């Protein structure tokens, strides 16, 4: 199933670093996110442009994972010629990841 079926996402940026949060809709789905959404998987998903380190932070109290992608915004908002220099579309892109269906 697509990640978007059990979670939503928000993004932010600071310089050339993108910050992507994935938040479970329901608390009971958070362990599935933790198990199948690691830093390595996110780095591989964004391999075309995430040039630096990817770090995952776990926030179980709010059912969220936060990923910090360094070197992911083509130099940052003031230096990038990208159409989405802030990286806001990354929230939608991460939700396209496939994860195992817990009921399948």
Closest CA to 45 of 80, 90, 101, 76: 90
Low-confidence ranges of the chain (pLDDT < 50): 76, 78-87
In a domain, 69, yes or no: yes
Assigned domain for 7 exists: yes
Residues 30, 60 contacting (CB under 8 angstroms): yes
pLDDT in tens, 55-81: 999 999 999 999 998 887 755 454 443
Q: Range of 58's domain?
A: 3-94
Q: What is the pLDDT of residue 75?
A: 54
Domain count, the chain: 1
* pTM higher than 0.85: no
Q: Please check whether residue 64 lies inside any domain of the structure.
A: yes
Q: Which of 80, 66, 67, 65 is nearest to 16 (CA)?
A: 80
Q: What is the mean pLDDT of the chain?
A: 83
Beta bridge partners of residue 51, listed in sequence order: none
């Amino acid at each position: 199933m697509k990640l978007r079926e059990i979670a939503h996402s928000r993004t932010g940026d600071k310089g050339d670093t993108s910050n992507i949060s994935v938040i479970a809709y329901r608390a009971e789905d958070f362990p599935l996110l933790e198990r199948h959404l690691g830093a390595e998987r996110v780095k591989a998903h964004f391999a075309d442009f995430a040039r630096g380190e990817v770090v995952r932070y776990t926030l179980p109290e709010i059912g969220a994972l936060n990923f910090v992608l360094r070197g992911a915004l083509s130099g940052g908002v003031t230096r990038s010629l990208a159409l989405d220099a802030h990286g806001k579309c990354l929230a939608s892109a991460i939700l396209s990841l496939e994860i195992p269906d817990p009921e399948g």
